[in-house]
Amino acid sequence: MSSSSLTSLQLRETTSDGVITDSTKPDNHYSKRLYISNLRNKINPFGRTRDKLVRLLSCFGATCEPTMESTSPRKAEERIASNVFSKNNLTDRQKVFYDRIEAGNILAHWLQQDWMVAALPTIDGVQLDAIVYGIPSGGIPVAATIATQLKLPLQVAVVSKILLPWNTEVGCGAVSFRQTVKWNEPFLHSIGLSKERLQKQMEEALTKVNRRTKALGGVPTIPTREENTAVILVDDGLASGWTMTLAIEEFRKMGAKNIVVVVPTGSYDVVLKIAKIADVVFCANIRREPSFAVAAAYENWYDEREEEMVQLIRSLNNKSCYK
């Protein structure tokens, strides 16, 4: 990412009334996607501009000015658990995000306008700091968008599924940046793979984790006073939840006391499972489906190329774009 394109990305922030403050077209892949996402939504995440909402409210004699689709943001929340926040108008729907960039845009504005205080509680009257940690590969563009919009530092937490030999989307376990291996024991009993084959699949996952960790900035860190730092873990969705579970466990071992999980979409049962081990979960699109697929939440779904992830992370972290 060039310096000029990064500057364009910084300047393309929103005012309180949802106006794009910079019209310069970016000249790199990530910035173009963010730019298109902003234009499609006019920065208002759920497809309605502020002017339309004000006119709609005026029909009912309302005088307040909304920041989101609902006249009262909390009315749009579905509370399936006390620490889980989701969007009623996105529940059980498919194709609700154009791509991961738009999903990150929506989540960033949701956190910024309505729930930042809920996500970042205070300790002795001091609001917590926060660091965004993206889980590759699909979680990187989502996390980068959130970190950029909220001016938060961004790191990468490399956790990878241990894939089945015949399916590149389904995992039977996960490997973390700390070399921890976590198997999905109940699932293992149902697939009948030999120990030798499982070992091979695990070694492939470990090789990928080591390669990505080296390329994407090393093992993630938490500031010394971790009790004053909220760890915001971001992925592009929760299907089995196995990689997110391992990520949470690893950050707990590192001393994190405030873990916030932020994902665009997730399976109902898995979101509830994650909520038991995280402090707060934000999942805009929760779906109750017998066969859940993260890809079903997106109109434009594709694998993120590793070289693009490397370029994006290095460019963002080499610039003072969060200060």
What was the pLDDT predicted at 274? 98
Token pair recorded at residue 4: 């000029």
Which of 185, 182, 140, 171 lies closest to 158, judged by CA?
Answer: 140
What was the pLDDT predicted at 191? 84
What was the pLDDT predicted at 117? 47
What was the pLDDT predicted at 120? 57
From the first residue on, what is the mean pLDDT of each consecutive set of 10 residues in the chain (323 residues)? 33 37 47 54 39 37 34 51 90 95 94 62 57 93 93 91 84 92 87 89 94 85 65 95 96 90 97 96 94 94 85 70 41
What was the pLDDT predicted at 234? 98
Strand order from edge to edge, sheet including 280-287: 84-85, 280-287, 258-267, 229-234, 129-134, 154-156
What was the pLDDT predicted at 171? 83
Q: How far apart are CA 140 and CA 92, in angstroms?
A: 24
**How many Cβ atoms are within 10 Å of 251's Cβ, its own excluded?**
23
**Residue 271, burial from CB neighbour count under 10 angstroms (0-12, 13-18, 19+):** buried
Q: How far apart are CA 64 and CA 27, in angstroms?
A: 38
What was the pLDDT predicted at 187? 85
Structural domains in the chain?
77-323 (3.40.50.2020)
What was the pLDDT predicted at 38? 53
What was the pLDDT predicted at 186? 83
- Those residues whose C-beta lies under 8 Å from the C-beta of residue 221, and which sit 6 or more positions away, are 155
Largest Cα–Cα separation, the chain: 69
What was the pLDDT predicted at 304? 84
Please, are residues 33 and 99 in contact by the beta-carbon 8 Å criterion? yes
Q: Which DSSP string do the residues of 16-84 spell out, in sequence order?
A: TT--B---PPP-SHHHHHHHHHHHHHTT-TTS--HHHHHHHHHTTT-----SSSSSSGGGGB--SSTTE
**3 state DSSP class of 155:** strand
**For tokens 């339309």, what's the residue?**
52
